[in-house]
């Protein structure tokens, strides 16, 4: 999943790419990323801290459009990422909602301390809570297309079925799923 996620991020022209993660994971992920992508330790624990760290670290006067997206959407079309950058040209915040009440992507034009403080990551109300906080902060919000990420076994089954038809959407993930199915005897 991470390899395909890195590939889609790197496919955008003129975009810097980095992995934000807990400090304990930096060395391991640096090996996976190689010299292609910087791996940076987040400040604090958990996903809310990671998102806060992304925008605190990477939004600057020279870099006003920063997008954070997860590695459990390796099949994310690059057009969605490009759309997210386009939305940030006219909004403070862009969100990629998931159909389960969360979000797979968030982008911002600045660091907004406290934006993720009330967000309950990984819950069916994560998107609602983020929107409530953004509105309370007076931020303008735009959206990308609704998409899905891999949170539960049925999500993985859905992805596997899609990649059997269109493996080029996430070729490394498709190959891994095919080998996993063969090794475990899981039926299509």
Q: Is the pLDDT of residue 119 over 70?
A: no
Provide the 10 A C-beta neighbour count for residue 23: 11
Q: State both tokens at 134.
A: 């953004």
Burial 76-90 (b: 16+ CB within 10 A, else e): beeebbebbbebbee
Q: What is the rounded CA–CA span in Å between residue 66 and residue 146?
A: 19
The tens digit of pLDDT for each residue in 78-113 reads 999 999 999 999 999 999 999 889 999 999 999 999
pTM equals 0.89
Instruction: Determine the pLDDT at residue 46.
Output: 87
**pLDDT tens per residue, range 2-16:** 999 999 999 999 899
Instruction: Tell the residue number behind the tokens 């490394």, with chain if given.
Output: 172
pLDDT number for residue 122: 64
Q: Which residue has the higher pLDDT, 169 or 34?
A: 169
Q: How many CA atoms does the CB half-sphere of 187 hold within 13 Å?
A: 0
């Amino acid at each position: 999943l991470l390899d395909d996620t890195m590939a889609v991020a790197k496919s955008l022209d003129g975009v810097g790419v980095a992995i934000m993660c807990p400090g304990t994971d930096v060395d391991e992920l640096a090996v996976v990323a190689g010299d292609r992508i910087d791996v940076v330790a987040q400040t604090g624990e958990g996903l809310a801290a990671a998102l806060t760290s992304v925008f605190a670290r990477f939004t600057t006067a020279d870099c006003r459009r920063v997008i954070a997206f997860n590695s459990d959407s390796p099949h994310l079309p690059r057009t969605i990422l490009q759309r997210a950058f386009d939305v940030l040209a006219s909004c403070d915040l862009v969100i990629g909602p998931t159909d389960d009440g969360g979000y797979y992507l968030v982008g911002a034009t600045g660091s907004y301390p406290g934006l993720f403080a009330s967000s309950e990551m990984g819950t069916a109300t994560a998107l609602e809570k983020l929107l409530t906080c953004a509105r309370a902060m007076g931020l303008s919000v735009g959206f990308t297309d609704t998409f899905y990420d891999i949170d539960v076994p049925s999500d993985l089954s859905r992805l596997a079925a899609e990649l059997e038809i269109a493996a080029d959407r996430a070729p490394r993930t498709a190959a891994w799923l095919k080998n996993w199915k063969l090794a475990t005897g899981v039926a299509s």
